[in-house]
Amino acid sequence: MALLSSYPRPQHALDIPTVVPRPPRPLTTPPASAILNPPQLPCPPRSPDSLKGFIVSTHLVPAAYPRIPYGPAPHVPSSLPGESKGQRIARLQQVGAEQLSRRAAFERGDLSPPAPRNELPWLAANRYVPVGAARDGVTLIFTHGNGMHKETWEPTLRHLLELGAPIAEAWSLDCANQGDSALVNAGVLPEIYDVAESARDPANFLLYYMPDAVMPESLPVHLPRVSEEEVSRRQTSGYRTRTVCAVGHSLGATILFGTQYCPRLFSAVILVEPVFVPLPWIPKFGHEGRVLNTICRRTSWPSRENAFASLRRSPFFQAWDEDVLRAYVEHGMTYSEKDGAQLKTSIYQEMSIFAETRVPNEAWEATRNVPPEVRLFWIMSGTDNTLSGGDAYSAHTVWRRVQNSSNVRLAHAGHLIPQQAPRALAEVLHVFLLTQFGGQLTHRSPLQWPKARL
């Protein structure tokens, strides 16, 4: 049973320094030459029945174009021949310190970016169609947190199906520099990854590439761009036959700002532990420590089985649900006889996102401007509010936009709610979907729901 509380609406406004969010960069049609020879899937296709109750397929679509320029990323070996443990840590922490310094200069505008390379990254996306799904259900769009990948949502999705949630279709997107997307884009990833791209990419997918209707038939690996007539219709009226609900965790919660491009595409956005914080909280944000710890992480193991056993002994991963950890290992690593099991997401790219401090401020400021017709639902940790502003600011974070908004705090789960408590998260999502989009609660969702916040 998921035990819930909520943040009451603050009685007084904050008097704190603010930032002015950058305007959203346009979504431009990429040159024909950039999509003439699309990449192939980086891993063998999964069996369509690999997730119980769903038909699963993996697809590739162009990412938002043009990119925010800053690249290319350096090659940073996890270890060097003859290097001692102490030497390895010192070398990698120097890389982390350099990223922090250059990121700070980049965010201040002190670095002149190189000329745009006009390269086009691609996004990997999984499609999940419930077996026998009703077409009038909700279309869910999942975006993951930093260092995760699209498949880490699968235990939550499976629990949702077991609960009888009204799902017509679900899509889960890899961030452009993580998971399968990272493999596809290995040659074009930037030195400094601007997290604002993580709002542009899902918006680009929803506006230009997601099919207009849920279809029972299979789709091609490379989804075709919809017609300009359809794009215009989406911009003015939204989807004709879809009800879209986005679910973003941590980094993935930036999908909210896809509403800056086309708010009519979204019926609701569910924010799971978003990293949105006001300017005064940044000194307490802890990003420096996360950068220096991440860059020193282990990245390879003799096998996936060895990786699972090794990670299971780590206190950090012991808090994870076992099914999520298995998905993390199975789908977040490559394997070869020569190199063993290796993370798909490089520690450099993961570290680069942890170094970001500008977008959390911009997101906090911009949330109040999200159109009120887009329903907001915040699912927050009941034990750790460090990444949402601490005791001083977290209540203000979830009430940045008052209209058509509610929040819950999930007991016994930290920031990594999808990894630590997928069943409890699914119960909360199920209640929200049925409350918001119709249907009746079943005996399979015994929630203690804070009624005053619905």
Instruction: Show the CA angle centred on residue 427, arms to residues 169 and 419, nearest 5°.
Output: 85
Rounded mean pLDDT, 334-359: 95
* Average pLDDT for 147-164: 97
- pLDDT at residue 446 above 90? no
Is the CB of residue 293 less than 8 Å from the CB of residue 275? no
For range 250-271, the mean pLDDT = 96
Predicted local distance difference test score (pLDDT) of residue 136:
77
Residues 292-302: pLDDT tens digits?
A: 999 999 999 99
Strand 375-381 with 405-410, pairing: parallel
pLDDT band at 438 (very low <50, low <70, confident <90, very high): confident
Question: Helix count (H) and strand count (E) of the chain?
Answer: 15, 12
Sequence ranges of the domains in the chain: 4-453
Residues constituting the chain? 454
Assign 443 a pLDDT band (cuts: 50, 70, 90): very low
Whether residue 98 has pLDDT greater than 70: yes
β-pairing verdict for 405-410 and 4-5: antiparallel
Arithmetic mean of pLDDT, 203-232: 95
Using DSSP's 3-state secondary structure scheme, residue 13 falls into coil
Name which residue leads in pLDDT, 18 or 146: 146
Q: With a cut of 80, say whether residue 448 has pLDDT above it.
A: no
The whole-chain average pLDDT of the chain stands at: 92
- The reported pLDDT for the residue numbered 450 is 47
Q: pTM of the entire structure?
A: 0.94
Residue 454 has pLDDT above 60, yes or no: no
CATH hierarchy code of domain 4-453: 3.40.50.1820
pLDDT on residue 245: 98
Q: Is 442's pLDDT higher than 60? A: no
Closest residue by Cα to residue 177 from 215, 142, 144, 129: 144
Interval 152-179 mean pLDDT? 97
Share of the chain above pLDDT 90, in %: 81
Strand order in the sheet with 4-5: 4-5, 405-410, 375-381, 268-272, 244-249, 138-143, 167-173, 122-130, 54-62
For the segment 30-70, what is each residue's pLDDT rounded down to a tens digit? 999 889 999 999 999 999 999 999 999 999 999 999 988 77
Mean pLDDT over 84-106 rounds to 94
Whether residue 356 has pLDDT greater than 60: yes
Asked which of 18-22, 64-68, 111-115, 136-140 is least confident by mean pLDDT, the reply is 111-115
Is residue 134 scored above 80 in pLDDT? Answer: no
Which three-class secondary structure state does DSSP give residue 235? helix
